[in-house]
Amino acid sequence: MKLKECLEKVSSLSVIRKYATAIVDNRNEKDTNQIEIELLDKLDTILRSVQNNLNLLEKDRLKRILKPIIIKIILEERNYRIKSKNLYEKVIAFEQSILKDGQNDLFNKNVPKANLFDIYYTILEGAWKKDNDITEDEENILQTLRKKMNITLEEHWMLQSKLGIFPKPYEDGYESNFHTAEEIKAVARALQSEHLLLLIIGEDKDKYFVIPEEIADVIKKGWGIQLSKKAYLTLLGNKQFFNKERCLRILQAVGIKPKQTSNKALINSIINNVKPIDALHYFVPKNELGKELEKMCFAITNWTFAF
């Protein structure tokens, strides 16, 4: 859905006024139609605001954790929208999957990034123990390290879970708590004033959180998201192009020698370590890979895949 269509379906006047924060002057004195016209007229300003708000160096830890999770979840949904009442269960399911993956022995020598995980974990642990939190400056350093070490945000959270600080820190000796529905909704509402998403009324009269297409394009480009996970799985599941031999060659090209060579294990390893366009380049010469094919890797996000 384009921004125009989303604005036409906003759930209330308060929602569109929140979305107009720092964009429309005297927004609290204007009605929905007036605000909609001004927002569409200032689309370039909104897109610049979105770009600025992609920075994950949030001072508030709750928002620092939930902001990328919520956005990633919605970007994986068809048409970039999810029923507001389903967002909580999706976030909890995501956090549970991170905790489950974090139980694996990430430092085992058979794990491709074991040495990097060990180094990063030590730095992460030192930063946290300093004052039971990670400051904005420390998070900036960690972000730089993740980029240098090719450690994903999901792997960062997995390592945090080993420290007992994901989804939330241990409290009074109890195990890590999941985020509450109220906390998730509060951050989702805050993201509206950052122009990242909107709360709309769907055709079924249910409320949906939606990321307008123009906004989604900026987010994907800013965060280096070429394909949704579902679409990437679909692409790699095409055995005509990605048979076992080619999957092994792709991983070897990035210095990974997988111990498990089942199709599922190879595909998961590629997803975690290789960008879609790079996966294509490994067996199609770059000068022969048309620009349209490259665009496809960034544009296709709504394919389906049976997990």
The Cα–Cα gap between 101 and 245 comes to 27
Q: Is the pLDDT of residue 291 over 60?
A: no
236 C-beta neighbours (distance < 10 Å), count: 24
Residue 96: pLDDT above 60? yes
Question: What percentage of the chain reaches a pLDDT higher than 90?
Answer: 56
User: Token digits for 157?
Assistant: 């959270």
Q: In terms of Cα–Cα distance, which of 200, 40, 209 is closest to 20?
A: 40
User: What average pLDDT is seen over the chain?
Assistant: 87
pTM: 0.82
How many Cβ atoms from other residues are within 10 Å of residue 76's Cβ?
Answer: 17
Rounded CA-CA distance 78/305 in Å is: 12
What pLDDT does residue 176 have?
Answer: 55
Average pLDDT, integer, range 65-89: 95
Tens of pLDDT, residue by residue over 217-253, are 999 999 888 777 777 888 888 887 788 888 888 888 8
The secondary structure of the chain in percent helix, strand, coil, rounded to multiples of 5, reads 60, 5, 35
Enumerate long-range contacts of 257-265, CB under 8 Å, 24 or more apart: 257/112, 258/112, 259/110
Provide the 10 A C-beta neighbour count for residue 56: 15
How is residue 201 written in tokens? Answer: 């009324």
Lowest mean pLDDT among 66-70, 117-121, 227-231: 227-231
Spatial CA neighbour of 165 closest among 116, 113, 114, 130: 130
Q: What is the pLDDT of residue 303?
A: 41
CB 62 within 8 A of CB 168: no
